[in-house]
Structure 1
Amino acid sequence: MGRVLITTDYLRPNDDIDNLLKQHGHETTFAPFESKRDTTQQMSLLTGFDAAIIASEPITRDMLASAPSLKVLARSGVGYDSIDVQAASHYGVRVCNAPGSNHYSVAEMAIGLLIMSARHLANVTSAVRLGQWPRKAGHELHGATLGIIGYGPSGQATAKLGLALGMKVLVSTAHPSSSDREISFTDLDTVFKSADYLSLHSRASGTGPLVDEAKFELMKDSAIIINTARGSLINESALAAALSNGTIAGAALDVLDHEPMTDSSPLRGLENLIITSHLAGQTVEARLRAGMIAAQAVIDVLANRQPDHPVN
């Protein structure tokens, strides 16, 4: 039997994930991550546990050093930028994630944000609530160019939705697919220059933002950038400047470099920007898939079996 900490905020006692862990003889403790923990809470969070299922909560080297019994950290999602994976490896902790659990949800969100931006829906709905009746013309997506950076599961799903809408799809990826004949695979700068709508689906670069002032300068002044991947992919100060001075027409972000949005964020107050609260992967269906994959990783590692989706 192992002690399992669950901090993912949407997982609950006696849900399917909890019951699966209990069926395998494990004891669960819930400590939902709903806001920033103080230093004392953070340092003691993992202490005494054999496993943890986490969402995007930061897991630092010091936290891992304080948890000598910990054997596995299972992400109830795809990205693991918030985990010090090198430190986890140093302390013998397996890190696992849940790839493929939310790519349909992420793709649908990316296209939803794209449509909202193309038709000015955020500003229109806000104005109507205030008693106004705006009639600003938007743009059709049919015939427009959708640029996609990164071609993992969510990038592929987004490309298919773009094709279904009659868009021309350009992709920059290190792993082009010869079977996707309707899609044009090209270099990064060509995607930036050509896209009417640019959707990010890549991993964090590890060397700073992928999209900076120079990349915004490549884009059309009518272009809109969509980010449902990782906040660190975009230099937010450069984005704020590009939106303010008309270098690009708009942006829609589901992820930020610092979440929740800070009071000092340069993105506050920009009317040509849509921001949502890291919801792309948050559907009932995706949450269940991700939670079950994370629980299975815990079960496998604690039973000394190889997990399906190891990161380290």
Structure 2
Amino acid sequence: MGTILITTDYLEPGDQVDDLLRAAGHRTVHSPATGRRPEGEMADLLRSADGALIAGEPVTAQMLDTARALRVIARSGVGYDSVDVDAATARGIVVCNTPGANKNAVAEMTMTLLLMCAKRIGETLDGVRKGTWPRHDTRELRGATLGIIGFGASGQAVAQLGAAFGMSVLVSTGHPTSGSGVDYVDRNDLLARSDFVTLHARAQSDGSPIIDGPALAAMKSSAYLVNTARGSLVDELALIDALRGGRIAGAGLDVFAREPVAVDNPLLSMSNVVTLSHLAGQTREARAEASVAAARDIVAVLEGGQPLGAVNAP
């Protein structure tokens, strides 16, 4: 029997994941991540765990130094840049994620942000609430060009929805997929031609952005940027500057460089920016699929089996 630490905030004792882990003979310890923990708390929690099912909170090499029994860390989501994978690998700890579990949720939210930008919904809602009855010029998605940077599961799902709306789809990726019905182009070409640019790439290994000042300068002044992937992919200061200067038309952002986003971040007060709270993958269906997949990988590792979502090879 092992002890499984669960920090994902929407998981709780007695749910499907808890039942799955207990049925496999393990003891669960729930400590939901609802914000920044006091220093040392996460290390203390990991110290007595054989497995950990976590959300997006950091797991550092220092925390792993005292986690002597820990054998597996499973993310209830796709991104795992919050985990020091090299440190885990060096200590023989398997790190897993759940690729594809939230692809439909992310794709739907991406299209929601595209539509909100194209139809200027944020500005209109604000105006109606203030009694001004705005009549903005808006645009249709049909006939527009959608540029997708990164073409994993969520990027491919966005391409399908974009095509269904009648959009031409351009993709920039290092891993083209045959028969996908999109046009593969280099990133500069994509930025120059797209009416909407949406990000579905992993975080850069060095944390650097892929949308910086020069990238924004390459976009059309009428184009919109949508990010449902990682906040680190966008240079926020450069984006603020581009928006203020009218060099792009607007943005739809579900993620930020620092979360929760500071209330004085200028992006929150811009009328041509739609901001959300890292919600793209948080549907009931995606949460259930990702959490169960993560729990099954934990059981597999602790039973000496092969997890489906391992991202390292200790």
- TM band (smaller chain): over 0.9
Specify the SS of the correspondent of 2:40: helix
Task: Tell me how far apart the structure 1 counterparts of residues 42 and 176 of structure 2 sit (CA, whole Å).
Answer: 41
Deviates more, 1:116-125 or 1:268-277: 268-277
- Asked whether 1:287 is paired with 2:287, we answer yes
Q: CA RMSD in A?
A: 1.1
| Matching residue of 1:204 | 203
| Matching residue of 1:85 | 85
* 1:25 Cα deviation after fit: 0.7
| Matching residue of 1:189 | 188
* 1:264 Cα deviation after fit: 5.1
Specify the SS of the correspondent of 2:28: strand
Give structure 1 stretches of 5+ with no counterpart: none
TM-score (ref. length: structure 2) = 0.97
- Asked whether 1:231 is paired with 2:225, we answer no
Deviates more, 1:152-161 or 1:182-191: 182-191
Give structure 2 stretches of 5+ with no counterpart: none
Task: Tell me how far apart the structure 2 counterparts of residues 178 and 92 of structure 1 sit (CA, whole Å).
Answer: 36
How many residue pairs are counted as aligned between the two chains? Answer: 311
Task: Tell me how far apart the structure 2 counterparts of residues 227 and 147 of structure 1 sit (CA, whole Å).
Answer: 12
* 1:28 Cα deviation after fit: 0.5
* 1:158 Cα deviation after fit: 0.2
Read off the aligned partner of 1:154 and give its amino acid letter. S
Read off the aligned partner of 1:133 and give its amino acid letter. W
Deviations 1:91-116 (A, max 9, x none): 21110000110001000000000000
- Asked whether 1:128 is paired with 2:151, we answer no
Deviations 1:25-73 (A, max 9, x none): 1111110001100103233121101011001111111111121111110
Task: Tell me how far apart the structure 2 counterparts of residues 41 and 126 of structure 1 sit (CA, whole Å).
Answer: 41
- Asked whether 1:310 is paired with 2:310, we answer yes
Read off the aligned partner of 2:185 and give its amino acid letter. T
- Asked whether 1:176 is paired with 2:170, we answer no
In 1, are the aligned partners of 2:43 and 2:67 still within 8 Å (CA)? no
| Matching residue of 2:71 | 71
| Matching residue of 2:152 | 152
Task: Tell me how far apart the structure 1 counterparts of residues 62 and 271 of structure 2 sit (CA, whole Å).
Answer: 41
| Matching residue of 2:142 | 142
Task: Tell me how far apart the structure 1 counterparts of residues 204 and 272 of structure 2 sit (CA, whole Å).
Answer: 26
TM-score (ref. length: structure 1) = 0.97
Task: Tell me how far apart the structure 1 counterparts of residues 167 and 263 of structure 2 sit (CA, whole Å).
Answer: 37
How do 1:221-300 residues align onto structure 2 when only pairs under 5 Å count? 221-263=221-263, 265-300=265-300
Specify the SS of the correspondent of 1:39: coil
| Matching residue of 2:110 | 110
Task: Tell me how far apart the structure 2 counterparts of residues 242 and 42 of structure 1 sit (CA, whole Å).
Answer: 39
In 1, are the aligned partners of 2:105 and 2:282 still within 8 Å (CA)? yes
| Matching residue of 1:217 | 217
